[in-house]
Structure 1
Amino acid sequence: MNATLQALHSYWAYLVFIILVIATINALFKLFGGKEFSAFDFRISLFTLIVSHLQLLIGVVLFFAGDYLGIIKETGMGEVMKNASLRDKIIEHPTTMIIAIALITIGYSKHKKKLTSKPKFKMLAIFYTLALVLIIAKIPWQTWLA
């Protein structure tokens, strides 16, 4: 089951990344282009929210299904923090991705409260871009490009 979850988490990440890039570019172009907010814009931002939350759920299940808490218990948090690989897998990657998904959620929620197109795109552009930067920073590239 752990291998299946890991594969699902890895492949679903490609979808999250592609959709987030599309939604971010869409929001930026339409913000600076002065375009009107359409049903497509709503759908792409909602789809980004949904796929990112599903990725978070898969990641949380994978985290607790894995033996990460056992590793912390056995070696101690000090040793985990000294080991770059363990620190990335147990602390940095999950924390950064949770923050990124929180930013996506905040951006989506804030854009719904705006009444005109420019503020809607502004909220999506700011929060989705920040989330994209965090995700790019903590993607395990050695795994992705292998």
Structure 2
Amino acid sequence: MYTGLQHLHSGLAYLVLLALIVIVIYALLGSLSNKEFLEKDRKIALIGFILSHIQLTVGLILYFVSPLGFEMLKSGSAMSDPATRLMAVEHPLINIIAIVVISIGYIKAKKGSIPRSRFRSIYMMYAIGLLLLLSRIPWSVWLG
């Protein structure tokens, strides 16, 4: 189960990052071209919203079954080693914040009335969320 969750979390991460990049560019172009914000635009943003929440759910499950997550935090050794601190504290905390930021962007766009501001909410908040996600990816594990 643990290995399957790891693979799912890693594989889904590629999909989430790709979706967020495409959505940020799409929303930026929509804003710059003064395009009308249509239902399909909301649904495109919804794809990134849903994928990021699925990734968060899988990550939280993995966090509690992994020896690199909550167990390291409970043992007290997580803060002394930078790699362990990244996995046990920084990665989950910053990624939760990133998903909250993405959620705020989606909700603001969904409730907005001015098309340009709806696109702006998506591209700005999704871009901030994307940068936060990229900042806490354990690159040595991911690429190694």
> TM-score, structure 2 length as denominator?
0.93
Q: Which has the higher helix share?
A: 1
Matches within 5 A, 1:105-116: 105-116=103-114
Alignment RMSD (CA, Å): 1.3
Matches within 5 A, 1:1-146: 1-67=1-67, 68-74=69-75, 76=76, 79-146=77-144
**CA distance in 1 between partners of 2:45 and 2:11 (Å):** 20
Deviations 1:98-140 (A, max 9, x none): 0110011110011111112111011112111110111111122
Task: Determine if contact 2:23/2:45 at 8 Å carries over to the other structure.
Answer: yes
Cα 1:71–1:135 change in 2 (3 A) is closer
- Bigger CA drift: 16-25 or 136-145? 136-145
Residue 141 of structure 1 and its aligned partner are, at CA, apart by: 2.1
**CA distance in 2 between partners of 1:92 and 1:126 (Å):** 23
Cα 1:69–1:145 change in 2 (3 A) is closer
Cα 1:8–1:26 change in 2 (3 A) is same
Task: Determine if contact 2:73/2:89 at 8 Å carries over to the other structure.
Answer: no
Counterpart of 1:71 in structure 2: which amino acid?
M
Residue 6 of structure 1 and its aligned partner are, at CA, apart by: 0.4
SS in 1 for 2:36: coil
Aligned residues: 143
- In structure 1, stretches of 5+ residues that fail to align are none
- In structure 2, stretches of 5+ residues that fail to align are none
Task: Determine if contact 2:20/2:130 at 8 Å carries over to the other structure.
Answer: yes
Q: Once the two structures are aligned, what percentage of the paired residues are identical?
A: 38
> TM-score, structure 1 length as denominator?
0.91
**CA distance in 1 between partners of 2:29 and 2:88 (Å):** 36
**CA distance in 2 between partners of 1:137 and 1:16 (Å):** 14
